[in-house]
A and B are shown apart, each in its own frame.
Chain A
């Protein structure tokens, strides 16, 4: 009965975890794909689903199911690393601007305001266009623009933590600031960050897909966003090639949703304010 209740309570999170697990497995073992995704075949251009190609073929005859499986890797990779960079930046800025609120925390706050004041997707596009369409650049660009949310949360939490008695006692004993931050503030902030970091992965994947679709993704790697970009560029729409357009999009939605469900559930667990009142 305990298990039953546990599942019911955390249903959304568990479903998300399950779906995510499928994609992670696929990205680690893409060999499960039925065909070599790079193999082009001039006789099978833009064909619909068949027994040999379950999801049909693209404009150069490549198997779409295999492309989708291989594409999982890039999307997850970019999502993780971009979210990782964002989290790192966000936690650092959040802690420092909260802890040193009186002194140089203020300029850091202003920095956060600046990043909040600019439209995110357009800025990503501008940066990606200037830096070049490389997978590393995409990760860095997305990572450097999504940290504001976490920074704010961490900052406000740091502010409250700062006033707690145990911190005051540390000061009294003579702990250095560095020690306090590293040994006390940071570990306490982490659980809060974890849930938000997962939500951040969802955002990062969403942005990677959009940036790729708009033509600024890395064309030498297979990714869901680039697949949709090529679908748009070739005449797939004219052919009503739903088999080319639906699968990558569905995968994107599933992946983003699973991270969102997991993140939200974790957030509810960690953040007591969000629990049912």
Chain B
């Protein structure tokens, strides 16, 4: 078991290293001189520009830069934003919390709702119920998340808040008053993101359950006269949770894609919107930093899922 954990850990660290390196090189091949644009003032003598380069660490030879970059990344030092002139780690950290506030409940709702739909579909496979729900779920899946967001905004204009996380100034209020503002701003983006993710999870649950329902032990249980509901509840679904966990972990990338879209459309100040903003302003340190954090979260989630899987399924011993 120890060796299993260790092996997964090594792989995860390797993956993180690859992403960090990718980040580093991406930044170096971009066009445009972001430092110049930073101060928006071409009236900068060469000398001043060199000084700014130095303060952003852009004047050393490439291998040295790379080494420094790795060291800094390990310490959590991700550079300084071109636009905000603050440490990237600080900016990203603040926004990550906001994303979790949105993504956490959305994922939960999507998993629960999606699983329910998936179970119904798998159970009533081949009937009109299955086809009907399947059609609806595929519709969810094929609809771009941001478009759903746009439609919801147009529909609820003036009825519910459609942007931001708090009413202006509300973030300074005491918690009890703050929470009301937060919740009213959370509703619409939450609905949008849950809508997008439910489709994914419904399909996953359906496919997993179909596989399991065709296994021998289910046939045995049926032949023993157990009722369908009982079989579902006590045998099929619990067995489905395990592969579901892995597949959900693999699909965390989809959650992040969905978050970027939802946050952009609803102006929710999370890491997804941060990424969009940094693209618009070509704030490369923040763009890299937010991507890095997303990738690391995904790698870690996969790692945890693998460990859990290995923990619960004694058949898995690498």
Contact = CB atoms under 8 A, between A and B. Distances in A.
* Direct A–B contact in the complex, CB atoms closer than 8 angstroms: yes
Interface of A: 110, 113-114, 116-123, 125-127, 129-130, 132, 202, 206, 209-210, 213-216, 228, 231-232, 237, 240, 242, 245-246, 249, 252-253, 256-257, 260-261, 276-277
A119 B30 contact: no
A231 B30 contact: no
Interface in B19-35: 19, 26-27, 29-31
Given A213-B144, A249-B143, A118 B19 contact: yes
Interface string B257-271: 100110011000000
9 pairs of A and B residues whose beta carbons are closest in the complex: A121-B257, A119-B253, A256-B142, A119-B256, A249-B147, A257-B142, A117-B15, A129-B279, A130-B30
Best-surrounded residue of A117, A119, A252 (most CB of chain B within 10 A): A117
Contacts of A121: 253, 256-257, 260-261
Query: Which secondary structure dominates where chain B touches chain A?
Result: helix
Interface in B231-257: 250, 252-254, 256-257
A206 B15 contact: no
A113 B142 contact: no
Interface residues of B, number: 50
B166 interface: no
Contacts of A116: 250
Given A114-B18, A231-B150, 11 more contacts: A114-B15, A116-B250, A206-B142, A213-B146, A213-B261, A214-B146, A215-B280, A216-B279, A228-B147, A240-B154, A246-B151
A139 B302 CA distance: 28
Interface string B120-141: 0000001000000000001101
Given A122-B256, A215-B280, A127 B294 contact: no
Interface of B: 11, 14-15, 18-19, 26-27, 29-31, 126, 138-139, 141-147, 150-151, 153-154, 157, 214, 250, 252-254, 256-257, 260-261, 264-265, 275-276, 279-280, 282, 287-288, 290-291, 294-295, 298-299, 302
A245 B151 contact: yes
A240 B11 CA distance: 50
Contacts of A246: 151
A210 B144 contact: yes
Query: Which secondary structure dominates where chain A touches chain B?
Result: helix
A209 B144 contact: yes
Contact of A117 (B138, B153, B299): B299
B146 A123 contact: no
A119 B294 contact: yes
A214 B276 contact: yes
Contacts of A256: 142
20 contacts: A117-B19, A119-B252, A119-B253, A120-B253, A120-B257, A122-B291, A123-B295, A126-B291, A127-B26, A210-B146, A210-B261, A213-B147, A214-B146, A216-B279, A237-B157, A245-B147, A253-B139, A256-B142, A257-B138, A261-B138
B100 to A, nearest CB: 15
A110 B15 CA distance: 9
Given A117-B298, A240-B154, A257-B138, A122 B30 contact: no
A237 B154 contact: yes
Best-surrounded residue of A118, A216, A237 (most CB of chain B within 10 A): A118
B260 A122 contact: yes
A119 B295 contact: yes
A246 B151 CA distance: 8
